[in-house]
Amino acid sequence: DWTMGAYREQAIAAIKDQVGDKQVICALSGGVDSSVAAALLHEAIGDQLTCVFVDHGLLRLNEAEEVVGMFRDHMNLKVIHADETELFLGELEGQSDPETKRKIIGKLFIDVFQKYANDIEGAEFLAQGTLYPDVIESVSFSGGPSVTIKSHHNVGGLPEKMGLKLVEPLRELFKDEVRALGVELGLPKSFIGRHPFPGPGLAIRCPGEITREKLEILRKADAVYIDQIRRHGLYDDIWQAFVAILPVRTVGVMGDGRTYDFACALRAVTSVDGMTADYYPFSHEFLGETATRIINEVPGINRVTYDITSKPPGTIEWE
Ligand code: XMP
């Protein structure tokens, strides 16, 4: 009789066995996988685990505070908040090519993680929230040629470079099992059910040049949009929803004045695994209400569009 409770005990024993009294470091993103991995490791080895939360300044409204607050203050994990906003935004200045942005962010992410990890005395292990499908995928892709649509950043090759051994306590699990394990470990259901968020963050929802002004507008608009989705009880029916700020200003009228502000696009899709996706069929009423709220509540936006492209031919993100 296989239960998550039994799996948990077995996984904890295996971690203790592998790690012994050594120190472990982990890149905590706030995503489901790294969060559940961190919670499980903490239960197994307590303070031998140190998490590094790399803050690239491309996160959603209050995201860093929420993630760090929950793990550090609520669950008592050792978490280093590596706020490197200046570094990332500085390097991204003037860059508008999607792949260039991704590469800059991926490289800096590894540099920053390495810098903080080097300060953690006696670290011998690197923990990763690798899932079973990741294990399979890396095997089946290694044979033939593949087309790279977007270079996803990950920390592949990092453990060897840093002389660390890997701990991957979720290697045998599928996504839904990881969620169940997270609940078993006491992570809030609202946290476990969060939509996926890409590593490069808001950078790939800001086509063209990234500026602080655009990021601030994007954060506010996204918060209003997600609030609308939650209020209408639609959050769990949607795989992913977000706002993209478009690199174009348009003319509008508000009160008796002319406005000249940014346009944005709302995106919401249903999907099973992110490989294919359908746009979400919101009601016109929902869309109208959301557009009105965003324009009223977010200075800097005067036009809202809804993206009705499915994947393929579109991708979920705009870059
Ligand atoms: P696309 O845009 O390729 O997205 O249809 C499919 C899923 O992958 C996420 N995504 C990323 N995740 N690093 C990530 O960690 C990336 O560079 C990246 N690009 C896309 C996207 O949010 C969606 O869930």
Confirm whether residue 138 is marked as ligand binding. no
User: What tokens does 233 get?
Assistant: 């009880």
Within a domain: residue 18?
yes
Tell me if 313 is assigned to some domain: no
Nearest CA to ligand 1 atom 6: 274
Question: Residue 50 and residue 41: Cα distance in Å, rounded?
Answer: 10
pLDDT of residue 140 exceeding 70, the answer is no
Residue 70 has what DSSP assignment? Answer: I
Residue 105 beta carbon below 6 angstroms from any ligand 1 atom = no
Helix axes 98-118, 85-92, angle to 10 degrees: 150
Q: Number of folded domains in the chain? A: 2
The total number of residues shown for the chain amounts to 319
Ligand 1 atom closest to 102 (CA): 17
pLDDT above 90: residue 143: no
The answer on 234 and 173 residing in a single domain is no
pLDDT, position 148: 57
Residues paired with residue 305 on neighbouring β-strands, in sequence order? 265
Was 151 annotated as part of a binding site?
Answer: no
**Other beta carbons less than 10 A from residue 288's beta carbon:** 12
Q: Do both 152 and 85 map to the same domain?
A: yes
Report yes or no: 306 and 194 within 8 Å, Cβ to Cβ.
no
Boundary of a domain, candidates 124, 158, 192: 192
Asked if 186 and 225 sit in the same domain, the reply is no
Here the ipTM equals: 0.99
Average pLDDT estimate for 180-194: 94
DSSP 8-state class, residue 200? T
The answer, yes or no, to whether any atom of ligand 1 lies below 6 A from the CB of 175, is no
- pLDDT value of residue 138: 66
Is 34 labelled a binding residue? yes
Task: Quote the ligand 1 centre to 198 CA distance (angstroms).
Answer: 5
- By most ligand atoms within 8 Å of CB, the mutation choice from 150, 155, 195 for ligand 1 is 150
Per DSSP, the residues of 223-235 read HHHHHHHHHTT-G
Prediction pTM value? 0.92
Q: Containing domain of residue 50, as a range?
A: 4-192
Q: How far is CA 236 from CA 194, 241, 308, in A?
A: 8, 11, 19
Q: Give the side-chain half-sphere CA count within 13 A for 134.
A: 15
Structure tokens at 315: 């991708």
Burial of 301 (0-12, 13-18, 19+ CB in 10 A): buried
Judged against a pLDDT cut of 80, whether residue 150 lies above it is answered with: no
CA gap 75, 81 in Å, rounded: 15
255 is in an annotated binding site: no
Contacts of 230 (CB under 8 A, 6+ apart): none
Reading the block at residue 153, the tokens are: 């950043």
State if residue 198 touches ligand 1 by the CB under 6 angstroms criterion: yes
Q: How close is the Cα of 312 to the center of ligand 1, in Å?
A: 14
* CATH code, domain carrying 294: 3.30.300.10
Task: Give the residue with greater pLDDT, 236 vs 151.
Answer: 236
Alpha-carbon distance of 42 to 40, in angstroms, equals: 5
Q: Are 165 and 124 in contact (CB under 8 A)?
A: yes
Distance CA 308, CA 319 (A): 16
Tell me: do 231 and 98 sit in the same domain.
no
Q: Angle at Cα 222 formed by Cα 287 and Cα 209, nearest 5°?
A: 115
Judge if the beta carbon of residue 315 lies within 6 A of ligand 1: yes
Are residues 178 and 78 part of one domain? yes
Assess whether 253 and 155 both reside in one domain. Answer: no
**Residue bearing the CA closest to ligand 1, atom 17:** 152
Q: Does residue 150 have its Cβ closer than 6 Å to ligand 1? A: yes
The predicted pLDDT at position 164 comes to 92
